[in-house]
Amino acid sequence: MTQGADTNGPMAGVPYDGKLTKADGKGQWWDGLDPQDLYAQNHTPGKKLAWDWSVAQGSSVPDEAYMEKYFKRVKQLWDDYQPDMIYFDDDVLPLHGVTDEIGLNLAAHFYNSSIQLHGHNEAVMNAKMLNDQQRQALTYDIERGKASGILPLPWQTDTCIGSWHYKLERFLKHEYVPASTIIPMLADIVSKNGNLMLSVPLNRDGVPDTDETKIVTDIGAWLKINGDAIYATRPWKIYGEGPSTVAAGNGRGGRQSIDQSKFTPQDIRFTQSKDGKTLYAIVLQFPADGKVTIKSLASNSQYRPGDIDSVQLLGYGKLTFTRDEDGLHLTLPDQKPCDYAFALKIE
């Protein structure tokens, strides 16, 4: 898909002159098309809302002019701003089910442009409902959900601390998802080879409100201490242990709802450094008695049969520990290094 693709138009043989520019201040363009049409979709309405592009089901199928315009706008966005990532709120690629040529040519242009810019591909395209073959070329996205276990290729959760668009009522009632929920969710996703794309909806002035600012600040403070267990890590042999690892309520394709994530101090998630030399255990809730037992690191563990020389609590320092056939046992210091979940560095 990154070689030999014709990206001069969304379909073979369709010419494209390179760039669209504003003609005046009235919102019109040299091609005579209003960008609002992309959002309003001013083609013939369907009989009902249907997810599949099927006239038989009542879908409103866009015409060729709309698809041509869509291709040009997205291509210009990339050419003007050179982003490294784009998220399509679509199954597979845009307009998949009507034609695959537009989506494939957009993907080819995005990847080829990244290679020309960086010397290698750094572009990431996220899309939904991908089969195993499609996940080789696109990053699998699960909206407001997560994988039930480790996936072989990197994937993504997209979710929001509130509604997808700014809703004043959320702020007035203090109904945002707090950092205390987001941080364990982040650890769970990363342990399964996933990434979290978190939306913070902004008011029309483009500024987050005070509740949102606190949530983002709290997440940043936690990552400042525990980031080594998250950034540039890889999944371990198992993603975790504890009550939440019992498969329950899985949806299609092993998808789980984020709302099912009720974590306890016995719920632990594992990550490891890229070189595999350092293991991180993220305990998702603080135990009331200050005691932690990691069963997966027992002395007879099939996952870590070798010795354990050192255990550090990130943000604090080294801890004393014992190890037997029941697990790796630790006692936490009285002073917490952070307010929510905490990470242990094991070597």
Alpha carbons 82 and 344: distance in angstroms, whole number: 38
Question: What value does the mean pLDDT take over residues 155-184?
Answer: 95
pLDDT in tens, 203-244: 988 999 999 999 999 999 999 999 999 999 999 999 999 999
Alpha carbons 19 and 284: distance in angstroms, whole number: 50
Residue 59 has pLDDT above 80, yes or no: no
Categorize the per-residue pLDDT at 45 as very low, low, confident or very high, splitting at 50, 70 and 90. Answer: low
Q: Are 110 and 72 in contact (CB under 8 A)?
A: no
**Residue where one domain finishes, among candidates 119, 141, 163:** 141
pLDDT in tens, 299-337: 999 999 899 999 999 999 999 999 999 999 999 999 999
- Residue 26: inside a domain, yes or no? yes
Residue 36 has pLDDT above 60, yes or no: yes
- pTM of the predicted protein model: 0.84
Indicate if 126 and 3 belong to the same structural domain: yes
- Residue 211: inside a domain, yes or no? no
How buried is 234 (Cβ within 10 angstroms: 0-12 exposed, 13-18 middle, 19+ buried)? middle
Residue 21 has pLDDT above 60, yes or no: no
Residue 25 has pLDDT above 60, yes or no: no
Categorize the per-residue pLDDT at 262 as very low, low, confident or very high, splitting at 50, 70 and 90. Answer: confident
Categorize the per-residue pLDDT at 250 as very low, low, confident or very high, splitting at 50, 70 and 90. Answer: low
Indicate if 137 and 240 belong to the same structural domain: no
Domain count for the chain: 2
The overall average pLDDT reported for the chain is 86
pLDDT value of residue 62: 82
**The three-state (H, E, C) secondary structure of the chain, written as one string:** CCCCCCCCCCCCCCCCCCCCCECCCCCCECCCCCCHHHHHCCCCCCCCCCCCCCHHHCCCCCCHHHHHHHHHHHHHHHHHHCCCEEEEEEECCCCCCCCCHHHHHHHHHHHHHHHHHHCCCCCEEEEECCCCCHHHCCEEEEECEEECCCCCCCEEEEEECCCCCCCHHHHHCCCCCCHHHHHHHHHHHHHCCEEEEEECCCCCCCCCCHHHHHHHHHHHHHHHHHHHHCCCCEEEEEEEECHHHCCCCCCHHHEEEHHHCCCCCCCEEEEECCCCCCEEEEECCCCCCCEEEEHHHCCCCCCCCCCCCCEEECCCEECCEEEECCEEEEECCCCCCCCCCEEEEEC
**Residue where one domain finishes, among candidates 100, 123, 141:** 141
Domain enclosing residue 24, as ranges:
1-141
Of 237, 221, 334, the residue nearest 281 (C-alpha): 237
pLDDT value of residue 6: 37
Residue 69 has pLDDT above 70, yes or no: yes
Q: What is the CATH number of the domain that holds 297?
A: 2.60.40.1180
